[in-house]
Amino acid sequence: MNSPKPSTVIVPVVSVAACIAPLLMSDLTFFVHTVLAAIVVTGLSLLMGYAGQASLGQGAFVAVGALTVGLGTTHAGLPPLLLLLVAPLAAALFAAVVGLPLLRLQGHYLAFGTLALLLLVQTAMSSVGALGGAYGISGIPAFGVGGWKVTGQLPYAYLALACLAVVLLLSRRVVNSRFGRGVRALSGSETAAESAGVAVGRDKVAMFALSAAFAGIAGAVTAFFTPYVSADSFPPLDSFTYVIMAVVGGLGTIWGGVVGAVLVSVLLQVLNTVGSQPGLPPTASSIIQYAAYGIVLILALLFLPRGVVPSLGSLPRRSALR
Amino acid sequence: MKEFLTYVITGITLGASFALVGSGFVVVHRVTRVVNFAQGSFAVLAAMLAAWLLGGVLPHGAAEVGAVLICGLVGVAVGVIALGRRGTPPLISLIVTLGVSMLAAAAIILFWGQDPVSPPGLSGHLALLGVQVDRQRLLVLVATLLAFAVLGLFFSRTYLGKALTASASNPYAARLVGIDVRRMGLLAFALAGVLGGLAGVLVAPSNALSFSSDLPLALSGFAAAVFGGLSSPGRTLVGGLVLGVAGQLTAGYLDGSYQTEVALLLMVVIMIARSRTFVAEEAK
């Protein structure tokens, strides 16, 4: 702890690079989606790493955020900036309400319970007309403040980056707070944490709601960026990808979500380009994609179980000991 | 009345296949505390293998048995990956098997493409209580009941079955009396492969399966297994039948598109209602 941490150099460099990168790219779809995934995964990493609860259905909360924006703009005509602030609150509220019964489950049961939640949300979206129905919600206006309207992709890249920055700062505050310490204690042993005065049930729901809020804001930006929301926008495979990203980056670290999201997104993008080369059969792309998901997940968990960030972080310390 | 009977009988035959997939979850979870997300992939793999073997030279029967046995071998491979190194926590193993199911999807698309496959099965109907039932669907029910009977006898009457149960309830003591706990875990995965494969071979002739059918199959199987707390084969059978009948009744009287959702809701409700007993079981 006495030596300066490598993050004091790396973090500013990476932040500046992230701000310059969008200016150099011609198509920002990949960039925006990667940053949004990083936001969702940061929340999931907090939930899985600090609270020890796995969610296979994080897409449900992304959907709530996107729905808030979709319905708020097209039906109620509310200002975009207000909706951007309301979306994470709506997602957190939804998570708190479903979390009260759902978080009585643990481990495997919670993983399957959250997956069931995602599928039920998808069904509700595709079958209830007010939530988009079979055709989804289209015609979402561009993001803007007051009379100023956003044009092109570049502003969305910076909007997503700004949201990511807020999410990361908030995560650091939460982890180092009394609440954060309580949540870490309950992931070890709920009984021990409870006897030490941690309100286990309340703190678990609060952490679940926080991760949902992060997912909700990512969903809101997606809705403005795409600008289309339907049940098919949130397939279970996306939610599984968030878990893969969280695990690859390293659970229970602030930067793990970002590192995992970037590494996995870049890998998938590269493989996608390779798989769609002319001359390859049309199924090659999906074969390579599924195989990559599977292999990355298995190798990461068996050989790098703590994730990339903690493993890299312990390198300098290890060499210093020798 | 006849309508009602039709729904109940189709529900029972459908529920039998849920129970068969669910029994795979139960066998693996009993012994290793791992929930195998790739359980649905066994069924899809077996359906593909059966169709492929039937298209080759093998006659009915041999092709299906061959497909199921290959699934047992694949089960061992999945077990080796999922159990990983000693001390891999069960929740990490669950995510590893999620990765395995994705690998399986890649392999299935590579060898057999993305289209659903439905190998030929028994044709024709049979009148049961005045209701016309596909003979293939009855075969599913009969085979499931047989499989559960064999499974019950295996766990309660054979040395190997008791060794499996012993590894589950106290791995340390099991090791003391000379049981190889890791090998028992792999055996459980092989058994899960056989049970999942059996489900796939039986279901595919009436419901075509594709690479993406593994998730719905795994979910309905898990839902059935939840009735038995992931450890009781008997109650898993009951759970599967309840889910099947409930789904068919909803489809018949309300709306056909909400079958899966009924199963999911029932699963979540039962899990939450029984959450206290689960915690106690996990703590054991």
Q: Tell me: pLDDT of A139 over 90.
A: no
Closest CB to B85: pick one of A107, A298, A302. A302
- For A51-75, write each residue's pLDDT tens digit: 778 889 999 999 999 999 999 888 8
Amino acid identity for residue B156 in this structure: S
Q: What is the mean pLDDT of residues B35-47?
A: 91
φ/ψ of B194, rounded to 5, equals: -65, -45
- Tell me the sheet residues that pair with A228: A138
pLDDT for A248 = 86
Residues of A in contact with B226 (CB under 8 A): 109, 112
* Residue A77 CB-density burial (10 A; 0-12 exposed, 13-18 middle, 19+ buried): exposed
pLDDT for B34 = 86
Amino acid identity for residue B138 in this structure: L
State how far the Cα of A15 lies from the Cα of B60, in Å rounded to an integer. Answer: 63
Q: What is the mean pLDDT of residues A234-258?
A: 87
Q: Do A290 and B105 touch (CB under 8 A)?
A: yes
For B86, the 3-state DSSP assignment is: coil
Q: Tell me: pLDDT of A16 over 50.
A: yes
- Which of 3-42 (B) contact A at CB < 8 A? 35
pLDDT for A213 = 95
Closest CB to A120: pick one of B96, B98, B261. B261
* Residue A82: CB atoms within 10 Å: 10
Chain B interface includes A286 (CB < 8 A): yes
Closest CB to A54: pick one of B91, B257, B267. B91
Distance to chain A for B157, nearest Cα, Å: 30
State how far the Cα of A240 lies from the Cα of B102, in Å rounded to an integer. Answer: 10
Q: pLDDT grade, residue B279 (50/70/90)?
A: low
pLDDT for B283 = 44
Residues of B in contact with A281 (CB under 8 A): none
- Which of 91-120 (A) contact B at CB < 8 A? 101-102, 104-109, 111-113, 115-117, 119-120
- Which of 78-117 (B) contact A at CB < 8 A? 81, 84-85, 88, 90-92, 94-96, 98-107, 109-110, 113-114
Q: What tokens were used for A210?
A: 């926080």
Residue ranges per domain, chain B?
2-115+122-283
Q: Write the CA distances from B62 to A65, A218, B4, B50, integer angstroms.
A: 53, 52, 37, 9
Q: Quick check: B182 and B174 in contact, CB under 8 A?
A: no
φ/ψ of A235, rounded to 5, equals: -70, 155
Q: What is the mean pLDDT of residues A117-122?
A: 91
- For B113-169, write each residue's pLDDT tens digit: 888 888 777 777 777 777 777 788 888 889 999 999 998 888 888 888 888 888 877
pLDDT for A167 = 93
H/E element holding A139?
none
- Cα dihedral value A57, A62, A65, A69, nearest 10: -130
State how far the Cα of B138 lies from the Cα of B144, in Å rounded to an integer. Answer: 10
Which residue, among B50, B29, B36, has the nearest Cα to B199 in the 3D structure?
B50
**What's the residue count for chain A?**
322
Q: What domains are there in chain A, each with its CATH number?
A: 7-321 (1.10.3470)
State how far the Cα of B239 lies from the Cα of B271, in Å rounded to an integer. Answer: 12
In this structure, what DSSP letter does residue A231 have?
A: G
- For A151-190, write each residue's pLDDT tens digit: 778 888 899 999 999 999 999 888 888 888 877 777 767 7
- For A164-173, write each residue's pLDDT tens digit: 999 999 998 8
| CATH classification (class only), B2-115+122-283 | mainly alpha
- The region, left, alpha or beta by phi > 0 then psi within -120 to 50, assigned to residue B142 is alpha
- Tell me the sheet residues that pair with A229: A137
For B139, half-sphere exposure in the C-beta direction (CA atoms, 13 angstrom radius) is: 18
Which residue, among A234, A217, A240, A245, has the nearest Cα to A69 in the 3D structure?
A217
